Structure 1
């Protein structure tokens, strides 16, 4: 049910999304790109890719980057496809984070930005990421962090007023979910963007 609500909400927002959240999108995705240190030979999966802005950033540096983006909003994906139409090695498709339509060991890098708080079954999503990640690959997730007071307040408000919102996590809760999915946290930090937005990011690798 929650994915249906999220899909409907983002189908409605798609046309204005990039403009409405321009500063936030630019700041967070530019940070993630720098953090990720992606190689031009990496094959990437972007989970909850939205309008394809992260793909656009990567392709501006490495025009031959192999990327697959998935999202549950058809209208967001339509914008992503338009942005990246000049790059035949980049593809987008509708898919749920908890049911990825890919073979085991398919990707070198999996990223997900600003979406983890929408996942109705975050552990299932992480297990799916683990399944499609190559043995020496890495997962990088950037999302809101409940350790920050204003994010904690936003989380409480959104739970009451936004039916698409599931929950924000503290950094410790987030790391426990990664460990429960059989990842090892390789690198992690918290970062603030402006007054309101406190986020966390983690790079995880498969446990031996």
Structure 2
């Protein structure tokens, strides 16, 4: 069932990839990224992972804002990755790889920051994602989770050609983080209905 779920998501995003950076979605994501960057702190020569990187827009913004950052973008869709590679203006610092957020193939404590922007709603096993992020994030690292938000009520939706999507409120995000060894240190509204939650590793909090 999980394989069918991932295949459905992959097929959908493969079809969407050539049109993903249309005017409407570009303006929407630009606004989110601009607000997100107001809360991002990265050290010199930081190593960054972007889950569900799509066409690489956020990574390009990070590379421009932080001239020494090196980032890896991970996505399920080969077509999204193809678009990202074609548009990559920072080839020495940004690379794009195929993979699933639930089973990351990176070393323990490899990254200083992990980003997940508007893709967490698609993941069928959110707790696995949190545990994987906790594993690959270095001590004193940050996990920046940006996704839709529908108040305190649970929200899930199923669209035949996209599959299931789920949104998580502040308490649910904090619980997912706690179970994976994180502390939620802040929540920020980036746009109406779009919430950023910043997580820190427990070693930093102790």
For normalisation by structure 1, the TM-score amounts to: 0.88
Give how far 1:49 is off: 0.5
| In structure 2, C-alpha distance between the alignment counterparts of 1:134 and 1:62, rounded to whole Å | 19
SS in structure 1 at match of 2:82: helix
Check conservation: 1:63, 1:87, Cα contact below 8 A: no
Larger relative helix fraction: 1
Task: Select 1:112's aligned residue among 101, 116, 119.
Answer: 116
| In structure 1, C-alpha distance between the alignment counterparts of 2:202 and 2:41, rounded to whole Å | 21
1:110-144 per-residue CA deviation (whole Å, 9 max, x = no partner) reads 01100111010000001000000011211110000
For normalisation by structure 2, the TM-score amounts to: 0.89
Partner of 2:183: 184
| In structure 2, C-alpha distance between the alignment counterparts of 1:205 and 1:143, rounded to whole Å | 18
Task: Select 1:13's aligned residue among 11, 16, 25.
Answer: 16
SS in structure 1 at match of 2:144: strand
SS in structure 2 at match of 1:36: coil
- Answering whether residue 65 of structure 2 is matched by residue 65 of structure 1, we say no
5 Å-filtered alignment, 1:127-206, equals 127-147=131-151, 155=155, 158-161=157-160, 163-193=162-192, 198-206=193-201
Count residues in correspondence: 199
| In structure 2, C-alpha distance between the alignment counterparts of 1:176 and 1:191, rounded to whole Å | 21
Give how far 1:86 is off: 4.1
Give unpaired runs (5+ residues) of structure 1.
Answer: none
Partner of 1:4: 7
1:42-91 per-residue CA deviation (whole Å, 9 max, x = no partner) reads 11000110100001112223343200110000110111112225422211
Partner of 1:26: 30
Structure 1 vs Structure 2 CA RMSD: 1.9
Check conservation: 1:109, 1:138, Cα contact below 8 A: yes
Give how far 1:165 is off: 2.9
